[in-house]
Structure 1
Amino acid sequence: MIYSFQELLLLSAAAIVIDWIIGDPRWPTHPVIWIGRWIRWIEKRLLTDRHRKHPFAGRSLGCLLTVSTMLLCMGTVWGIVAIADFIHLWLGYAVSAWLISTTIAVKGLKDAAMLVYTPLANGDLPEARRYVGYIVGRDTSSLDEREVTRATVETVSENTVDAFVSPILFALLGGAPLAMLYRGVNTLDSMVGYRNDRYRYYGWCSARMDDLLNLIPARVTGLCMIIAAAILPGMNPWRALTSIWVFARRHPSPNSGIPESATAGALGIELGGRNVYFGTVSERARMGYPLRPISIEDTRSVIRLLYVVSCMVGIGVVLTWFVVR
């Protein structure tokens, strides 16, 4: 099972369309659910109280977790596609396109953000807090309307990389197996990549691998957001560019600061500030130019930014296919 670059381009384009239409249904058979179950299963067998407190043992076991998850994700998907390919070439194409679509989540991200926006618009702050708690790692029980909106805007911005650009770029390089490898690493980071007492050492490898894999996609996303800001009314591409240049490096992540600062600059708002993770206060760098306060409508604005970026990438994939062909 070796697909040409032309085939990978078409498969990636098909996956984008599938995600736009179907989205990210939470079926029990969804690959990400199985990846999460694997991570929890192996954690119960590897991570003991003694190991998690020891830097060398914790990091060694964390490296084992990361490598095994990457190999399992890539190998399993390669086997599934190979079997489908053996049965019939077009079945292999269909399975590949569907598997790639499960690694991206544009519609799912939009739906999750709107589940926060709708109760906020209706004045139901507790309900909005509940739904934003599903998509962010910070404590949300005491957030006000502004902070709920900020959390939503930040996670949609950051996940424009994680939930779309990165998996598509990996799919273009190696089809469904490589896209699923990326999704496995990203799932690891979201589950164990925390600097708390439990995962400080065990999650170190997963977090660093996620940073490495997102290094180029994050910068591609930043460029796409600048162009998208030039297309969308009410957004400012020059401010998005300068915001990336000035503020992105202040973010603790080498990648997340790029899409977040681009969004802040494009919208003329300020992101970052005080977050609470598992009872620990974290003061995040403030990014962007606060020309106005954050409003709940910024949720809809960042969704438009997400969709324009996804359209640009989709069109770019199709145009590249025509050029290569």
Structure 2
Amino acid sequence: MILSDSLVTLSLALAAEAAFGYPSRLYTRIGHPVTWIGHLIKGLDRGLNREGRSFGRRRAAGVLALLLLLAVTGAAAWMLQAALLPLGPIGLAILALLSGTLIAQRSLHEHVAAVSAGLRESGLDGGRRAVAMIVGRNPQSLDEAGVARAAIESLAENFSDGIVAPAFWLGLGGLPGAALYKATNTADSMIGHRTPRHEAFGWAAARFDDLVNLPASRLTALLVIAAAALHPGASARKAWQAVRRDAAHHRSPNAGWPEAAMAGALGLRLAGPRVYGDVRVEDRWMGDGRAEARAEDVDRALALYRTACALLFGLAVVMALAARFIAR
């Protein structure tokens, strides 16, 4: 697949996913590509992650599991793309629809908007129920401001992981690029944790996920800053300042970039000390604004997100047209 085709596929995939998302009826019947990848990861975890082995052998097994996961996922995506591209425009359209399943613009918006709606309609309990669907921290430890901040943080981080990153690798490497990224990111979310079972086995998945998310996290911050420049009441200047000052101090090498940009743009403080289960994490604050976030701030963050998604689509279209022009 030449670069111009992958960029056209990206443009069509972004538009189709934003318009239609992934139909719930289809999910009920056949699942989703991420759930299929998840089943493969579970099988590798059961088969290769033996608790009686040494730390070093379990880490080596985790490297092997990641390589097998990427080989299977990449081969399936490459064969599917190779079968569709010779079909011309129809094949390209089908490829774009399939690629769109690896991008989550619409579902992310719906999940975060549900937190705002929960806070407005059912108060703190409603907000906690909604935010529990998108964050790993203990919702009972959150007050109303904590719920709102958690929703905005999840929006910022998942904009990078769930939209910009798969879009970046789709534009660069077609369906195989996006599928390989999604397999890596899913592996990190399932086994890339510092728990007794996965600290060694999930090491490779966690480190590789950090690497492949690096370019997208920086691009996401730039998209949020650009979106802030277009929104009255948001500040592109403060978003840029927050990224430069705070992003590198986040415990994640990538999450700090979109979170700092969002915090600065909205005049908030995000991240900071949080509770996961019964464990308190003393993280640095992103941004130097107010910590007392409200449902209205979630709505403001969603408005920035929609604009940033539109900018991402525009960037994809411009790059596709430029690649077509150069290829002539």
TM-score range, shorter chain: over 0.9
In the alignment, the residues of structure 2 paired with residue 58 and residue 302 of structure 1 have an alpha-carbon distance, to the nearest angstrom, of 41
SS of the equivalent of 2:275 reads strand
Rounded Cα–Cα distance in structure 2 between residues aligned with 1:50 and 1:305 = 49
Name the structure 2 match of 1:78: 78
What is the aligned partner in structure 1 of residue 263 from structure 2?
Answer: 264
Query: What letter corresponds to residue 35 of structure 1 in structure 2?
Result: I
Tell me which residue corresponds to 1:46: 48
Q: How far apart are the structure 1 equivalents of 2:158 and 2:291?
A: 24
How far has the Cα of 1:136 moved from its partner?
A: 1.2
Offset of 1:90 from its aligned partner? 3.4
CA shift for structure 1 position 311: 0.9
Q: Secondary structure at the match of 1:49?
A: coil
Q: Distance in 2 between matches of 1:203 and 1:258?
A: 24
- Secondary structure of the 1:281 match is strand
Corresponding position: 1:311 with 2:310: yes
**SS of residue paired to 2:274:** strand
Q: CA deviation at 1:79?
A: 1.5
Paired residue for 2:18? 20
Residue 35 of structure 2 aligns with which residue? 33
Give the residue type in structure 1 aligned to 2:84. A
Q: Which amino acid aligns with 2:235?
A: N
The one-letter code of the counterpart of 1:29 is: G
Which residue pairs with 1:155 in the alignment? 154
**What residue in structure 1 maps to residue 57 of structure 2?**
57
CA distance in 2 between partners of 1:204 and 1:220 (Å): 25
| Matched residues, number | 320
Please give the secondary structure, in 1, of the residue aligned with 2:284.
coil
Mapped contact 1:12–1:97 kept (Cα < 8 A)? yes
Question: Conserved in 2, the CA contact under 8 Å of 1:103 and 1:167?
Answer: yes
Cα distance between partner residues in 2 of 1:284 and 1:291: 17
Deviating above 4 A after TM superposition, structure 1's stretches of 4 or more consecutive aligned residues are none
Q: CA deviation at 1:292?
A: 6.3
Ranges in structure 1 where 5+ consecutive residues have no aligned partner: none
What is the letter of the counterpart of residue 46 of structure 2? K
Instruction: Encode CA deviations 1:168-212: one digit per residue, 9 max, x unaligned.
Output: 111111111110110111111111111222221111111111110
- CA distance in structure 2 between the aligned counterparts of 1:18 and 1:291, rounded to whole angstroms: 37
Q: Aligned runs of 1:176-255 on 2, under 5 Å?
A: 176-255=175-254
Secondary structure of 1:123 counterpart: helix
Q: Are the aligned partners of 2:124 and 2:143 in contact in 1 as well (CA < 8 Å)?
A: yes
Alpha carbons of structure 1 residues 320 and 85: separation in structure 2 relative to 1, 3 Å: closer
Contact 1:66–1:206 (CA<8 Å) still a contact in 2? yes
TM-score by length of 1: 0.93
SS at match of 1:198: coil
Contact 1:82 1:92 in 2 (8 A): no
1:44: how far off? 1.5
Amino acid corresponding to residue 180 of structure 2 in structure 1? L
- Select between 259-268 and 197-206 the one with higher mean Cα deviation: 197-206
Mark the runs of 5 or more structure 2 residues left unpaired by the alignment: none
Change (3 A) 1:143 1:238: same
1:255 deviation in Å?
A: 0.8
Are the counterparts in 2 of residues 138 and 278 from structure 1 also a CA contact under 8 Å? yes
Contact 1:106 1:306 in 2 (8 A): no
CA distance in 2, matches of 1:142, 1:240: 28
Given that 2:138 and 2:277 are in contact with CA atoms closer than 8 Å, whether structure 1 keeps it comes out as yes
Q: TM-score of the superposition, structure 2-length normalised?
A: 0.93
Matching residue's letter, 2:15? V
Aligned to 1:165: 164
Q: In the TM superposition, what is the alpha-carbon distance from 1:131 to its structure 2 partner?
A: 2.4
Aligned residue identity for 1:219: R
Mean Cα deviation higher: 77-86 or 294-303: 77-86
TM-superposed deviation, 1:287: 1.2
Does the Cα contact within 8 Å between 1:268 and 1:292 map onto a contact in 2?
A: no
Alignment-derived partner of residue 284 in structure 1? 283
Note the alpha carbon deviations across 1:51-95, whole angstroms, 9 max, x for none: 4xx321221121122121122211111112223345x23343123
Deviation of the 1:317 alpha carbon: 1.6
Partner of 1:5: 3
Give, in angstroms, the shift of residue 232 of structure 1.
1.1
Aligned pair in 2 of structure 1 residues 292, 253: CA closer, same or farther (>3 Å)?
A: closer
Give per-residue Cα distances to partners, 1:151-174, cap 9 Å, x unaligned.
111011011111111111111111
For 1:49, the aligned partner's letter is E
**Contact 1:167–1:182, Cα closer than 8 Å, also in 2:** yes
Q: Report if the CA contact (8 A) 2:270-2:291 is conserved.
A: no
